[in-house]
Amino acid sequence: MARPILSAACGMVIALTGLPVVLPVVLPIRAQQAASAQPAVLRGAGITQLLNQQVPRDLIFRNESGKAVRLGDYLGQKPIVLSMIYFNCPSLCTEVLNGELRALQGIPLNMGKDYEAITVSFDPKDSAAEAEIKSRIYTGLYGRPGSVGGWHFLTGEQKSIDALTAAVGFRDVYDRDSGQFAHAAAIMILTPEGRVARYFYGLQYPTRDVRLGLVEASEGRIGSPTDAALLFCYHYDPLTGKYGLMVTNLLRAGGAITVLVLGIFVWVMFRRERHGPSLPPAVPTSYR
């Protein structure tokens, strides 16, 4: 009976804003493959979560036009969706970008206005011309008015790449035999100041989770009343890279609602008793 009660409590919290809530299905966490069973080239690749880590602001990259830019030029105003790929990747990186695109298309927040997106190549051989092609493709597919200049594709030298990947815990391994990189698939959310706020893994990034991550990273400066209420009901689980139902807040909300309802009931009954109609005076027996 606990789950329906918790769901009802969360629903009542959202109902106070006049808006609906969709509860997630909790999926089991897949066991990670033992390191000894992985190919040697994969053992050094992966992601170490460094939540609240500041990315270096003075790192120099080149934008789609080949102009030198500081990473700090993109910080200070809006939360950022950060992805680490390389432009000549034959498969996985394209799927990461496609998954990111689907997630950004699915949220009501507008890229360029409410947040920025930055995609950085971790291959120093990638050029600004290749970055420009990616920029035209993905900003075109995003397709919302006013979004031009909201998704940045950067290239850089090995020193800047290493400093950024170290700051966000991203590790890739170059395989000389294939000429390709082994790396993890993920996107990250940065606060406007450039601190790592959230990691989302895989190739499919739930729109609800990405939206809540951006709202939370912005400290509520973007988003709607629904988002604020959802953040009360859900909390980020760094083990899964997803938002799950937060039992403590639901119990707290359910208790507060119960106390409020009981208080209103007692107050109404008290007023009825105090201001209710008085009985007519008794007729003396002598007049009967």
> Smallest Cα–Cα separation from 188: which of 105, 74, 83, 102?
83
Beta-ladder partners of 62: 68, 155
Count, in order, helices (H) and strands (E) of the chain. Answer: 7, 13
Instruction: Report if residue 58 sits inside a domain.
Output: yes
Instruction: Report if residue 172 sits inside a domain.
Output: yes
Instruction: Report if residue 19 sits inside a domain.
Output: no
Instruction: Report if residue 272 sits inside a domain.
Output: no
Report yes or no: 81 and 104 within 8 Å, Cβ to Cβ.
yes
Query: What is the residue-level pLDDT of the chain in tens, covering all 288 positions?
Result: 444 444 444 444 333 333 333 333 333 334 344 445 556 656 789 999 999 999 999 999 999 999 999 999 999 999 999 999 999 999 899 999 999 999 999 999 999 999 999 999 999 999 999 999 999 999 999 999 888 899 999 999 999 999 999 999 999 999 998 899 999 999 999 999 999 999 999 999 999 999 999 998 988 665 555 555 545 576 667 766 666 655 444 444 445 556 566 667 666 666 666 665 555 555 555 544
Token pair in block for residue 39: 């190919």
* CATH number, residue 115: 3.40.30.10
* pLDDT at position 210: 95
Instruction: Please count the structural domains in the chain.
Output: 1
CA pseudo-torsion sign 135, 141, 147, 148: positive
* pLDDT at position 33: 46
Instruction: Report if residue 134 sits inside a domain.
Output: yes
Letter string b/e over residues 198-222, b meaning 16 or more CB atoms within 10 A of that residue's CB:
bbbeebebbebbbbbbbbbbbeeeb
What is the three-class DSSP state of 244? strand
Domain that holds residue 87: 40-221
Token pair in block for residue 206: 């739930």
Q: Which pTM was predicted? A: 0.69
**Residue 120: CB partners within 8 Å, gap ≥ 6?**
61, 82, 83, 84, 85, 154, 155, 156, 161, 164
Instruction: Report if residue 277 sits inside a domain.
Output: no
Instruction: Report if residue 90 sits inside a domain.
Output: yes
| Half-sphere exposure for 269 (CA within 13 Å, toward CB) | 6
Report yes or no: 21 and 14 within 8 Å, Cβ to Cβ.
yes
Q: How far apart are the two ends of the chain, measured CA to CA in Å?
A: 62
Report yes or no: 50 and 166 within 8 Å, Cβ to Cβ.
no
| Residue at 191: amino acid letter | T
Instruction: Report if residue 241 sits inside a domain.
Output: no
Token pair in block for residue 40: 């040697």
Residue 146 CA to residue 277 CA, distance in Å, equals: 65
* pLDDT at position 285: 55
A 10 A CB-CB count for 149 gives 12
